[in-house]
């Protein structure tokens, strides 16, 4: 899979037990550490303290960390430590029901960057062509580095379009999908290669 993937996301909240720092360091690809909040798709009810401790413990072995935009203030110590270690902070937002307005997404991205985000990541659920247009416009308006992706019925087509338009991170699955509309990693790479000029 190393020729298909550029990095792997370690979803600590979805594992039976947290990995040791040495296990993350031994992975064959750079690791993005995520301890997702239950409100945005996390598998476990973890306190702020528990999540912060897991992030801080695994930071030395990570290539980057992914925190929810809504939690950047509460996890400010993780943001600070990540920057001390020169690890990028990905600040994410998830809407599993629909697609927010362009104005909302631009404001959200500004808040994330003001709180220390190096990359803004937005996952929404487009249901109409206009919704997909909002995500494409947000990608352009927010400016790089930004990761933008869709979920649901238009998830796959949105991920292709957004990847080709500059989304810097494009999440796929290995084993099983995390959300509807996600591509299998091998298939996504094949289709992207077919779209190359």
Interval 79-126: pLDDT, tens: 999 999 999 999 999 999 999 999 999 999 999 999 999 999 999 999
Whole-prediction pTM value?
Answer: 0.94
**Which has more confidence, 3 or 66?**
66
Q: What domains can be seen in the chain, in order of their start residue?
A: 8-192 (3.20.20.70)
Residue 5 has pLDDT above 60, yes or no: yes
Contacts of residue 135, Cβ cutoff 8 Å, sequence gap at least 6 = 99, 122, 124, 126, 148, 150, 158, 162
User: What are the distances in angstroms from CA 62 to CA 31, 34, 88, 134, 158?
Assistant: 5, 10, 9, 32, 28
Q: What length does the chain have?
A: 197
Residue 1 has pLDDT above 80, yes or no: no
Residue 152 has pLDDT above 90, yes or no: yes
DSSP three-state, residue 23: helix
pLDDT at residue 98 in the model: 98
**Which has more confidence, 44 or 71?**
71
């Amino acid at each position: 899979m190393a020729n298909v993937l550029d990095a792997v996301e370690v979803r600590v909240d979805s594992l039976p037990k947290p990995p040791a720092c040495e296990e993350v360091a031994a992975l064959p690809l750079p690791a993005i550490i995520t301890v997702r909040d239950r409100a945005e798709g996390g598998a476990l009810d973890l306190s702020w303290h528990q999540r912060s401790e897991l992030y801080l413990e695994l930071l030395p072995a990570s290539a980057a960390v992914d925190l929810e935009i809504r939690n950047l203030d509460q996890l400010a110590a993780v943001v600070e430590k990540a920057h001390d270690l020169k690890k990028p902070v990905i600040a994410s937002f998830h809407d599993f029901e629909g697609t927010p307005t362009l104005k909302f997404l631009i404001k959200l991205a500004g808040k994330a960057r003001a709180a220390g985000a190096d990359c803004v990541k937005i996952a929404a659920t487009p249901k109409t062509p206009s919704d997909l247009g909002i995500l494409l416009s947000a990608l352009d308006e927010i400016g790089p580095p930004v990761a933008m992706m869709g979920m649901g019925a238009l998830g796959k087509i949105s991920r292709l379009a957004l990847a080709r338009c500059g989304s810097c991170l494009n999440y796929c699955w290995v084993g099983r999908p995390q959300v509807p509309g996600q591509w299998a990693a091998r298939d996504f790479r094949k289709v992207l290669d077919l779209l190359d000029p």
